[in-house]
Structure 1
Amino acid sequence: MIELAGISKTFKGKQGSIHALKNVSLSVKKGEIYGVIGYSGAGKSTLIRCVNLLEKPDTGSVKVKGIDLTKLSTKKLREARSNIGMIFQGFNLLKTATVYENIALPLKLAGFSKKEVEERVKKYIKIVGLDEKHHAYPAELSGGQKQRVAIARALAFEPEVLLSDEATSALDPDTTEAILELLLKINKELGITILLITHEMNVIQRICDRVAVMEKGEVIEEGKTKDLFTSPQHPTTKRFVSNLFTHKIPNDMLEKLNESGQVVTLSFFGESSGEPALATVTKKFDIYPNILSGSITHLKEDTFGQLVVHMKGDPAEIHKAIRYLEQDQVHVEGVKISDENKRVS
């Protein structure tokens, strides 16, 4: 549905050139929710604005449904953009217009008939759950309600692609969860492909099928959300994943425990807490596992858990136990002494 190939973008500032994007390539499949995550300055906002050519890349191609937008005339590009909806962190609502008018005005300007405008506005106000707010003004709405209006406005053109530019970062956790549920509903019931950018890993884990991690204008890691949680490769990806968990083992404790065995992190998917596997390991090998910490988080269609375990025993037996767990699809990683904040890596 979306194909970005070799996208580069440089901005010229007072202090020199800023290379916002460096040869970025991404492929978003029809009907999926694809996330792009990165810290501030990673280039993700520039990337998403290149998809509908709000920012025109210096090099590379931007294809939506097989059509390269960079080669279209102004008129054809305007027509193509009607198939790409976009929602923003700042809502971008007209303060002097009602909910109804904020959604209707873009349709009127695009030349839709009065009847069609009315039908679409009513339809999408209902979909986003604002049936009783037709005549309310933005000042009378909560942040979550404002974002719902913005989503309804984007959906009113009935696009096949929806771009989300940090749409939940200004919202509280409960409201964020509600908006994410709405995006899942839109994706599932309307079949709209969603490309979103965020700096929040909980957004990625909650609704995304696949994810790209960006840093300094480049994609440093990409794949299925499940795979990145199971086995992150780049240090930045590992940092994002570890931020979801609160395992904090003091360095002096780690040093002491490692004298009598090994401290490891076990990562697993599914409903199991990992304890049956540990119980089996105890029976099969001459080791004594002790759970130091544990947590579970929910992905879009699965459950991901981690346990920090001290395996006490002979190194050879510990090695056999780890091999057994890995064969049982449990990802095992040794816990390292932290240099900075004593957080498990």
Structure 2
Amino acid sequence: MIVLENITKEFISKSNTVKAVSNVSLHVRKGEIHGVIGYSGAGKSTLIRCVNLLEKPTKGKVYINGEEITPLPLPQLRKVRNKIGMIFQGFNLLKTATVYDNIAIPLKLLGYDKNEVKKRVEKYLEIVGLTDKHKSYPNQLSGGQKQRVAIARALSQEPEVLLSDEATSALDPETTDSILELLLKINKELGITILLITHEMNVIQKICDHVYVMENGEVVEENTAINLFTKPSHPTTKKFLNTISQRNLSPSLISQLHVTGAVTRLTFVGESTGKPLLAEVSQKFDVQPNILTANIIELKNGIVGNIVIHLVGEKNQVQSAIRFLEEQGVGTESLEVHS
């Protein structure tokens, strides 16, 4: 549905050239939700604006539903953009227009008749749960309600693709969750393909099928969400994961727990998360598992469990226990301990 091939975007001034995006390629399949995550300045906002050519790439090609749109003249590009909805962090609502008119005005400008405008506004206000707010003005709404209006406005043109530019970063955690649930509903019930950018790992966790990690204008790692959470390889990815799951043991924790010797991170995926494998280990081998940290992460398409354990016992018994866990489908990673 969305294909970017070797996209590079440079901003050129008299004094210097800034390469905001460097040779990025991605492929978002129809009906999926893909997320691009990165810290401020990573280039993700520029990248998503290249999808609908709000930013024209310096190099590379953009395909929407199999059609290359990069060379299209403006009149044809406008037609393509009608099938690409976009929502923003700042909502971009008209302050002097009602909720109804914020959704209706773009439709009127596109030439839809009065009856069709009314039909679409009512339909998408119902989908986002704001039917009773159609006469309200933006300053009478909460942040979450404003974003729902912005989503209804984007949906009213009945796009095939929805782009989300940090749509939840200005919202509190509870409201963020409700907006993410709405995006999941839109994806599932309307079949709309979604590409979002974010700097929040919990957004990726809750709704994404596939993830791209950006740093300094480049994609440094990409994978399915479940594989990324299970086997992250790049330091930036691991840093993001540490915001929702304690992957690193602090020196103070090591000191308080008096940990010495082998410390191992265990990663459980799917069915293995429900098995009492640590109990089996203590029965089969002469070791004592000491759990230091543990959590379960629920993803859109699966469950990932992380447990950091200190295995107390003879070296050969510890090694045998770890081999047993690996044979049961558990991922293992030895951690360095600096007391």
After TM superposition, the score normalised by the length of structure 1 is 0.94
Match of 1:304 in 2: 304
Following superposition, the deviation at residue 337 of structure 1 comes to 3.9
Cα deviation per residue 1:129-165 (whole Å; 9 max; x = unaligned)? 0010000000000000000000000000000000000
For residues 271 and 164 of structure 2, the distance between their equivalents in structure 1, rounded to whole angstroms, comes to 31
Shift in CA distance, 253/178, structure 1 to aligned 2, threshold 3 Å: closer
Match of 1:97 in 2: 97
Following superposition, the deviation at residue 327 of structure 1 comes to 1.9
Match of 1:329 in 2: 329
Match of 1:169 in 2: 169
For residues 20 and 247 of structure 1, the distance between their equivalents in structure 2, rounded to whole angstroms, comes to 30
The question of 1:138 aligning with 2:138 is answered yes
Matched to 2:313, the amino acid is: G
The question of 1:160 aligning with 2:164 is answered no
Shift in CA distance, 277/221, structure 1 to aligned 2, threshold 3 Å: same
Cα deviation per residue 1:275-311 (whole Å; 9 max; x = unaligned)? 7111111122221111122122211132222111110
List structure 1 runs of 4+ shifted beyond 6 angstroms. Answer: none
Shift in CA distance, 136/66, structure 1 to aligned 2, threshold 3 Å: same
Match of 1:179 in 2: 179
1:247 and 1:294 in contact (8 A); partners too: no
For residues 274 and 75 of structure 2, the distance between their equivalents in structure 1, rounded to whole angstroms, comes to 57
Match of 2:58 in 1: 58
Following superposition, the deviation at residue 329 of structure 1 comes to 1.6
Match of 1:73 in 2: 73
Match of 1:8 in 2: 8
Aligned pairs (5 A) from 1:222-237: 222-237=222-237
Match of 2:37 in 1: 37
For residues 123 and 249 of structure 1, the distance between their equivalents in structure 2, rounded to whole angstroms, comes to 50
Instruction: Name whichever of 131-140 and 319-328 sits farther off.
Output: 319-328
1:257 and 1:263 in contact (8 A); partners too: no
Match of 1:205 in 2: 205
For residues 241 and 315 of structure 2, the distance between their equivalents in structure 1, rounded to whole angstroms, comes to 29
Shift in CA distance, 314/161, structure 1 to aligned 2, threshold 3 Å: same
Q: Which runs of 5+ in 1 are unaligned?
A: none
Aligned pairs (5 A) from 1:215-226: 215-226=215-226
1:103 and 1:149 in contact (8 A); partners too: yes
Match of 1:290 in 2: 290
Q: Which runs of 5+ in 2 are unaligned?
A: none
Shift in CA distance, 246/258, structure 1 to aligned 2, threshold 3 Å: closer
After TM superposition, the score normalised by the length of structure 2 is 0.95
2:242 and 2:248 in contact (8 A); partners too: no
For residues 253 and 103 of structure 2, the distance between their equivalents in structure 1, rounded to whole angstroms, comes to 58
What is the percent sequence identity of the aligned residues? Answer: 60
Aligned length: 338
1:322 and 1:332 in contact (8 A); partners too: yes
For residues 274 and 15 of structure 2, the distance between their equivalents in structure 1, rounded to whole angstroms, comes to 53
Shift in CA distance, 288/54, structure 1 to aligned 2, threshold 3 Å: same
Instruction: Name whichever of 263-272 and 63-72 sits farther off.
Output: 263-272
Following superposition, the deviation at residue 78 of structure 1 comes to 0.3
For residues 317 and 15 of structure 1, the distance between their equivalents in structure 2, rounded to whole angstroms, comes to 64
Following superposition, the deviation at residue 95 of structure 1 comes to 0.1
Match of 2:191 in 1: 191
Cα deviation per residue 1:78-109 (whole Å; 9 max; x = unaligned)? 00000000000000000000000000000000
Quote the RMSD (CA, aligned, Å).
Answer: 1.8
2:232 and 2:238 in contact (8 A); partners too: yes
Instruction: Name whichever of 98-107 and 310-319 sits farther off.
Output: 310-319
For residues 303 and 309 of structure 2, the distance between their equivalents in structure 1, rounded to whole angstroms, comes to 19
The question of 1:241 aligning with 2:241 is answered yes
Match of 1:263 in 2: 263
Following superposition, the deviation at residue 254 of structure 1 comes to 3.7
Instruction: Name whichever of 6-15 and 315-324 sits farther off.
Output: 6-15
Matched to 2:305, the amino acid is: G
Matched to 1:142, the amino acid is: S
Shift in CA distance, 289/15, structure 1 to aligned 2, threshold 3 Å: farther
Following superposition, the deviation at residue 222 of structure 1 comes to 0.5
